[in-house]
């Protein structure tokens, strides 16, 4: 058994999750580099898929302020 757990998603070493008393249960790790599943759910409304983004972008006169991080080509293709 290896001494450290590596994150399966990003490959960074994960840190041990300690309980309130500073004890480690021997198996719980947390990755500091990946958002937790709970964070993912909270951030859902920030991550717009390209099709939704394209509709909003188009309805705003294809203003680059509404590109949501997508390129103009990506948005055109999604329309």
Q: CB–CB of 58/79 below 8 Å? A: yes
Dihedral of alpha carbons 59, 60, 61, 64, sign: negative
Residue closest to Zn ion (Cβ): 7
CB of 10 or CB of 79, closer to Zn ion: 10
User: Is 34 among the residues that bind Zn ion (CB under 5 A)?
Assistant: yes
CA distance 72 to 57: 9
> Per-residue contact track with Zn ion, 37 to 76, x per CB under 5 A?
----------------------------------------
54 burial (CB, 10 Å; 0-12 / 13-18 / 19+) is: buried
Range 1-30, binding Zn ion (CB under 5 A): 7, 9-10
Using CB under 5 A as the criterion, which residues of the chain lie in contact with Zn ion when the complex forms? 7, 9-10, 31, 33-34
């Amino acid at each position: 058994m290896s001494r450290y757990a590596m994150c399966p998603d990003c490959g960074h070493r994960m840190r041990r999750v300690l309980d309130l008393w500073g004890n480690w249960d021997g198996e719980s790790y947390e990755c500091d580099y990946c958002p937790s599943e709970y964070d993912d759910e909270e951030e859902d409304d920030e991550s717009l898929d390209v099709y939704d983004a394209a509709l909003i972008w188009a309805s705003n006169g294809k203003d680059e302020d509404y590109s949501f991080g997508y390129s103009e080509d990506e948005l055109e293709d999604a329309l």
